[in-house]
Amino acid sequence: MSSSQPTDLATAAPPDLVAPFERAWFYNGISDDPPHLLDHSDLSTSPYSIPKPPFGHTTLPEKTVHAAFDTTLTPTVWCSTVAPAIITLLKEPERAIHLSSLMAVRFSTVIPYEDELPVFGPTVIWISVHPGTTTAIACRDASPDILSLLGAHGVQGAPVVHWYEGSVERLSGPPMMRVVDDTDPTSYVRRALMPVLGLPLAAAVEEEEGDDDSQGGGSRSGSLAFFFHEGEDEGGNPSEKVLGITTKHAIFARKNVQANANVDSSELSGYTGGAAKADTSVRACSSRRFQAMVNETQKLIDTNTFDAELLPRRIAGLESKPKPTTTTAAEDDAYALKWRKLELEHVKEDKVDLEKFLKDLDANWRDPTQRTIGVVNWAPEIRSDVDACGYTQDIATFALDESKWKKEFKGNVVYLGGKYSPYHIITMFSPKTVTGNRPSFKYPINDLFKIQGFVPAEHLANPYFPASPQEENTAAFTVAKSGQSSNLTFGRYSPMEAYTCSASGEHSSWEIPIFNYDRRLDGLSFIGDTRLGEFSAKGDSGSLVFNARGEMVALLHSGIITRRKEERFGGVTVSSHVGFATPAHFVVEQIRRQYPKADFTRQGF
């Protein structure tokens, strides 16, 4: 609860019962940022020794938390008798106490450079209440009853009661990063941890074994295709579960799960198709992809550091420049000076933000377990004989961890920012044609492009607009995808389905081919230092292919990869000229068979 401002850090100001300094430093030492004290039952008999000003020049006592080891308050007595009695007491409505946690502990205290050995205090009934819900007075008034209860149960040693504010939170790492405006210097680099389609995915079991497929190594990682709400569980009960879609091969290792085996919700403890159990957790970013994110951030910091050194010299040069002889020149110099100063201000601010962001990555996301975002729910057999069409069924669903997703969940949206300018995206999505017929596409003001519905089979066979002026009378249209490895890319869809066959000749399928976008189209060979490049790459499996109308077109799962040994510099170059995908209408049909009430339209968790 809020309190009035004290005039003295050593004096409590009502309704607080402890002085501000004691409140902040009473638990010094138990963590890097210890909780704030509300009250302790021996406040009058064991006052906190508050150092005299200046506080910063005084060594503060440091506490350490230990398990209670009272001979009368045994674990059995605590769990079966004493703790339940205290809980019942605190939950009495008239007390207005909102209990968060209850523990039995002891504290040791040592004053650095003064005490040789720590001094142990009595048994403490350590109680936390949810922040902002309970007054210190309510805590104080409950303490005598708790002490009486302890006495009634024979607890000895003059126990005390401590109160503080704190809520229990799951240790699943922070929620997914929010989408920020492109004026934020981290807006593009954070895309790998934002709750949007194309999110980089990795199998937990692969992370433990050090595998990563994003660079063609042969193990598992991929991209998030889209979301849906389950609507109804297997028992016919309403369900609020939200699931993500990707390809099965992207999150299951071949050595642990056979392609011709199924995984469903009855096997959430782990699935291996009869072999040893495998972790079915799904994570955002493989370790390699995460490190790439860190490196990208550091590069931005280095660039800002360079600019922060260069700009003052440019400003000084403009300020020391001889006065121009013409009004126009003087105005130009004044304008340049104004903007160089603003640029320097922004560079300094951006550097601070980027350094803070880098620390957040290291502290809250580097451990792979902090990037766990869900658990596999269903992964049917990878096959191409589900129906007469011969499309590849390579699907896996995973249930989203609500603690990671709920806060920033936006539904099925693609982040378009960062890589290309809005103008270039509009140009690629809406090419000019001889007849002037071009698809309607409006760039979203928040960079989030909403995905709604899917292209039905009849429209895939007869595309409704061309991909380029040269294709005015041909059946093809522009599509895009956002994936782990190549991020946002554009390609050309053709309704002429491609036949693919394995080397053994045992497995064949029909696929939607996606060709690379014409690099020469409308003079877009280069955008900044970014070549339009190829539509797909290793690690993009599971990406959703979509069109200018925001409709799902297909689920990307494979492609033809060309590897060539680089004679001049060594190493191997990897290139892809076509990607293969399964039609979205087929994918949705399979999902609805497993989840009859699946809802693909909801924007909230």
DSSP secondary structure letters along 215-272: TS-SS-EEE--EEEEEEE-TTS-EEEEEEEEE-HHHHS-TTTS-TT--B-GGGTT---
* CB contact at 8 A, 333 and 324: yes
Spatial distance between the Cα atoms of 398 and 378, rounded to a whole number of angstroms: 7
Contacts of 104 (CB under 8 A, 6+ apart): 67, 68, 70, 73, 78, 82, 83, 123, 124, 125, 126
For residue 428 the two structure tokens come to 């690629």
For residue 210 the two structure tokens come to 């050090």
Mean pLDDT of the residues in the chain: 82
Given a cut of 50, is residue 5 above it in pLDDT?
no
Query: What is the residue type of 224?
Result: L
Query: What is the residue type of 556?
Result: L
Spatial distance between the Cα atoms of 365 and 388, rounded to a whole number of angstroms: 45
Q: Mean pLDDT, to the nearest integer, of 66-94?
A: 88
* CB contact at 8 A, 495 and 463: yes
Confidence (pLDDT) at 569: 60
Given a cut of 70, is residue 138 above it in pLDDT?
yes
* CB contact at 8 A, 129 and 139: yes
Spatial distance between the Cα atoms of 127 and 166, rounded to a whole number of angstroms: 9
Which range has the worst mean pLDDT, 228-237, 241-250, 436-445, 582-591?
A: 436-445
Write out 115-184 in H/E/C secondary structure: CCCCEEEEEEEEEEECCCCCCHHHHHHHHHHHHHHHHHCCCCCCCEEEEEECCCCCCCCCCCCCCCCCCC
For residue 86 the two structure tokens come to 């205290």
Q: Taking Cα atoms as reference points, which of 576, 218, 577, 178 lies closest to residue 405?
A: 178
Given a cut of 90, is residue 250 above it in pLDDT?
no
Confidence (pLDDT) at 11: 72
Instruction: Quote the pTM value.
Output: 0.73
Confidence (pLDDT) at 10: 64
At 190, the pLDDT band (50, 70, 90 cuts) reads very high
For residue 217 the two structure tokens come to 């190594």
For residue range 528-573, what is the model confidence (pLDDT) as tens digits?
444 567 888 888 999 999 998 899 999 999 888 777 666 666 677 6
The better pLDDT of the pair 547, 117 is held by 547
- Report DSSP state, residue 479: E
Lookup result for tokens 């890589």: 419
Contacts of 180 (CB under 8 A, 6+ apart): 186, 187, 190
Question: What sign results for the dihedral spanned by CA atoms 581, 582, 587, 590?
Answer: negative
* CB contact at 8 A, 120 and 156: no
For 189, 488, 525, the CA distances from 530, given in Å and listed in that order, are 15, 12, 9
Spatial distance between the Cα atoms of 280 and 398, rounded to a whole number of angstroms: 9
Given a cut of 80, is residue 468 above it in pLDDT?
no
What pairing do the DSSP bridges indicate for beta strands 530-531 and 526-527?
A: antiparallel
Spatial distance between the Cα atoms of 19 and 50, rounded to a whole number of angstroms: 9
Confidence (pLDDT) at 53: 53
Q: Mean pLDDT, to the nearest integer, of 112-127?
A: 83
Which range has the worst mean pLDDT, 49-53, 213-217, 346-350?
A: 213-217
Confidence (pLDDT) at 268: 37
Query: What is the residue type of 402?
Result: E
